[in-house]
Amino acid sequence: MTGPAPRRRGRPSRTEEETGPGARERILEAARAQFAERGYDKTSVRGIGKAAGVDPALVHHYFGTKDEVFAAAIEVSFEPAAVVPAIVGGPRDSIGERLARFFIGVWENPASRAPLLAIVRSALTHEAAAKVLRTFVLRRLLERIAAELDVPDPKFRAELAASHMIGIAILRYVIQVEPMASADPERIVEMVAPTLQRYLTEA
Amino acid sequence: MTGPAPRRRGRPSRTEEETGPGARERILEAARAQFAERGYDKTSVRGIGKAAGVDPALVHHYFGTKDEVFAAAIEVSFEPAAVVPAIVGGPRDSIGERLARFFIGVWENPASRAPLLAIVRSALTHEAAAKVLRTFVLRRLLERIAAELDVPDPKFRAELAASHMIGIAILRYVIQVEPMASADPERIVEMVAPTLQRYLTEA
């Protein structure tokens, strides 16, 4: 949505700074920072609005509920509309490698890692965060990839692939187990790619 | 340790019921139930003692700190001294299958699932629980298995295998994503066994 913010009773109309084209981006950036720093639980739409320098109503206007702001903050890292064709579109025998490299790349990028850490940490204890994980990582990314690949049980296979990548993220980035935490990302890609390839393409 | 509990100042000596051979087991059972029901954070040595009908000092005497009680409660599910030889000792080309089946079996058993759920839920937010996960699941179980197998980078390979199994546990038992949550355990074993086999045995 990019329309103007709705007026609220008794409020003056918003300034250009508050509603201008930069506001949506500022809100997303503030949301990513707040979720990453404070965790899912302690982040509020009010706090995001404050950090972005906008009225909380504008956060609601652009994104809806706190869950939906969270989902939007995560989606920036995944951009399924661009990622799915890039992974599925190349040679079929290197899908596992492209998916593994995309996944590690998202996590190795500090800007996307921070909100992902927040979601993974929260997903095990908060249903709302778990739902975001299900909706975005699974439904919108991995299931779309699996659906393109014409294998039996595409959802189950997408979940097998997702389970491995989520587990790697937990050991490497959350619990920071060695040597996994310091391993060369390419070494992880090399080991994991054949697994993802098998789950996603072999009957 | 199986010796008598240490006396505390001003307390009467303990009854047979409190210190007898059943006390250690009762404490462990109470610990498993408390950690599972209340989570890592809210469980105390005092509460475990109360639930087991013993003085908290006896809990300390048998197990040490809260972390160590937790570790002991988890270890019952894994029994690395028995499990490692059973997994490594059979035919080398079915190690992945035995490990996958052991892992799913532990999780499918409600008695062992409950404390495991507590540890996995807590490990992402509490360093003490993460340490138990590292120490027991990784060091005492998977690394021992990998060490027996004479592959390069045994720790890294053990962590790759662990990451997949932890991820499956999270999707199936914690977040309960479908179809993973309702999948036949044997179907999971069938899909995952070749992955574990490759990580643990192929150079």
Tell me the chain B residues in contact with residue A180 when contact means C-beta distances shorter than 8 Å: 156, 159-160, 163
B123 with B133: CB under 8 angstroms?
yes
Amino acid at B194: P
Low-confidence stretches of chain B (pLDDT < 70) are: 1-21, 136-137
Query: Domain containing B189 — which CATH number?
Result: 1.10.357.10
Residues B86 and B168 placed together within one structural domain of the fold: yes
Tell me the chain B residues in contact with residue A191 when contact means C-beta distances shorter than 8 Å: 156-157, 160, 199
Mutation target for A interface from B120, B124, B138, B157: give the one with most A CBs within 10 A: B124
Residue A5 CA: distances (Å) to CA of A1, A14, A20, A59, A134:
10, 8, 10, 9, 30
Chain B residues contacting A via beta carbons under 8 Å: 120-121, 123-125, 130, 133-134, 138, 153, 155-157, 159-160, 162-168, 170-172, 174-175, 177-180, 183, 187, 191-192, 194-195, 198-199
Sign, CA torsion A141/A99/A108/A22: negative
Q: Residue B49 falls within a domain, yes or no?
A: yes
Residues B39 and B89 placed together within one structural domain of the fold: no
In our burial notation (b when 16+ CB lie closer than 10 A, e otherwise), range B9-37 reads eeeeebeeebbeeebbebbbbbbbbbbbe
A97 with A187: CB under 8 angstroms?
no
A15-19, A199-203, B8-12, range with the lowest pLDDT: B8-12
ipTM score for this prediction: 0.80
Q: Residue B190 falls within a domain, yes or no?
A: yes
Q: Residue B2 falls within a domain, yes or no?
A: no
pLDDT band, very low/low/confident/very high, at A18 (cuts 50, 70, 90):
low
* Structure confidence by residue, pLDDT tens digits, A89-113: 889 999 999 999 999 998 998 877 8
Residue A43 CA: distances (Å) to CA of A115, A128, A134, B191:
12, 13, 20, 39
Q: What is the pLDDT of residue B112?
A: 79
Residues A38 and A119 placed together within one structural domain of the fold: no
Q: What is the pLDDT of residue B160?
A: 95
Tell me the chain B residues in contact with residue A138 when contact means C-beta distances shorter than 8 Å: 177
B98 with B90: CB under 8 angstroms?
yes
Q: What is the 3-state secondary structure (H, E, C) of chain B?
A: CCCCCCCCCCCCCCCHHHHCHHHHHHHHHHHHHHHHHHHHHHCCHHHHHHHHCCCHHHHHHHHCCHHHHHHHHHHHHHCHHHHHHHHHHCCHHHHHHHHHHHHHHHHHCHHHHHHHHHHHHHHCCCHHHHHHHHHHHHHHHHHHHHHHCCCCCHHHHHHHHHHHHHHHHHHHHHCCCCCHHHCCHHHHHHHHHHHHHHHHHCC
> The domain containing residue A22 runs over which residues?
16-74
Residues B151 and B107 placed together within one structural domain of the fold: yes
Residues B145 and B197 placed together within one structural domain of the fold: yes
User: Is there a contact between B162 and A171 if contact means CB atoms under 8 Å apart?
Assistant: yes
Q: Residue B127 falls within a domain, yes or no?
A: yes
Q: Which of A19, A125, A163 is nearest to B166 (CA)?
A: A163
Q: Around Cβ A94, how many Cβ atoms within 10 Å?
A: 14
A189 to chain B: closest CA residue: B160
Q: Residue B47 falls within a domain, yes or no?
A: yes
In our burial notation (b when 16+ CB lie closer than 10 A, e otherwise), range B147-184 reads ebbebebbbbbbbbbbbbbbbbbbbbbbbebeebeebe
Query: Domain containing B23 — which CATH number?
Result: 1.10.10.60
Q: Around Cβ B96, how many Cβ atoms within 10 Å?
A: 22
User: Is there a contact between A175 and B121 if contact means CB atoms under 8 Å apart?
Assistant: no
Residue A110 dihedral angles phi and psi, to the nearest 5°:
-55, -35
* Share above pLDDT 70 across residues of chain A, in percent, rounded to a whole number: 88
Smallest CA–CA distance, residue B168 to chain A, in Å, is 5
User: Is there a contact between A168 and B167 if contact means CB atoms under 8 Å apart?
Assistant: yes
User: Is there a contact between B180 and A170 if contact means CB atoms under 8 Å apart?
Assistant: no
Is it the case that residue A5 has pLDDT exceeding 70? no
Mean pLDDT within A2-13: 48
Residues A118 and A28 placed together within one structural domain of the fold: no
Q: What is the pLDDT of residue B9?
A: 47
Residues B107 and B188 placed together within one structural domain of the fold: yes
Q: What is the pLDDT of residue A32?
A: 85
Residues B54 and B134 placed together within one structural domain of the fold: no
Residues B90 and B60 placed together within one structural domain of the fold: no
Q: What is the pLDDT of residue B12?
A: 45
Tell me the chain A residues in contact with residue B160 when contact means C-beta distances shorter than 8 Å: 168, 180, 191-192
How high does pLDDT run on average in chain B?
83
Which residues make Cβ contacts (< 8 Å) with residue A183, sequence separation at least 6?
A172, B156
Tell me the chain B residues in contact with residue A155 when contact means C-beta distances shorter than 8 Å: 178-179
Q: What is the pLDDT of residue A10?
A: 47
Residues A82 and A176 placed together within one structural domain of the fold: yes
Residues A97 and A163 placed together within one structural domain of the fold: yes
Q: How many domains does chain A have?
A: 2
Chain A residues contacting B via beta carbons under 8 Å: 120-121, 123-125, 130, 133-134, 138, 153, 155-157, 159-160, 162-168, 170-172, 174-175, 177-180, 183, 187, 191-192, 194-195, 198-199
